[in-house]
């Protein structure tokens, strides 16, 4: 449980780097969720909560991207290396192999 708690906070720090509002909101939400369930004794429920927390960590790491407003009509995206993937070009008529 502690390992997952720490992993969520590390992911939060990486995903929301330089965004103090998002960092604080994520910190509060992570702490609140773990605090609300700290007295849970059912092993089944604990495993379910750990699975949810693990899924949240993966979603944060692989799906969330930062964007910064530069002008009134411009946004700059700041991708992390975790998000960058090799892309296969789209083909209207794929060839069979």
User: pLDDT tens for residues 1-43?
Assistant: 899 999 999 999 998 888 899 999 999 999 999 999 988 889 9
- In a domain, residue 9? The reply is yes
The pTM is what?
0.72
Quote the number of domains for the chain.
1
Parent domain of 15: 1-82
Other CB atoms within 10 Å distance of the CB of residue 26:
20
Cα–Cα distance for residue pair 5/15, rounded to 1 Å: 15
For the chain, what's the residue count? 97
Closest C-alpha among 92, 26, 90 to residue 61: 26
Handedness of CA 17, 75, 56, 23 (dihedral sign): positive
Higher pLDDT pick, 65 / 33: 33
Q: Does any domain span residue 89?
A: no
Number of neighbouring beta carbons within 10 Å of residue 15: 23
């Amino acid at each position: 449980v502690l390992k997952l708690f720490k992993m969520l906070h590390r992911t939060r720090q990486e995903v929301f780097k330089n965004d103090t509002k998002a960092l604080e909101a994520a910190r509060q939400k992570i702490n609140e969720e773990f605090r609300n369930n700290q007295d849970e004794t059912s092993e089944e429920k604990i495993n379910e909560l750990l699975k949810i927390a693990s899924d949240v960590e993966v979603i944060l790491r692989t799906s969330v991207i930062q964007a910064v407003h530069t002008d009134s009509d411009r946004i700059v995206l700041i991708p992390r290396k975790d998000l960058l993937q090799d892309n296969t070009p789209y083909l209207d008529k794929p060839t069979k192999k």
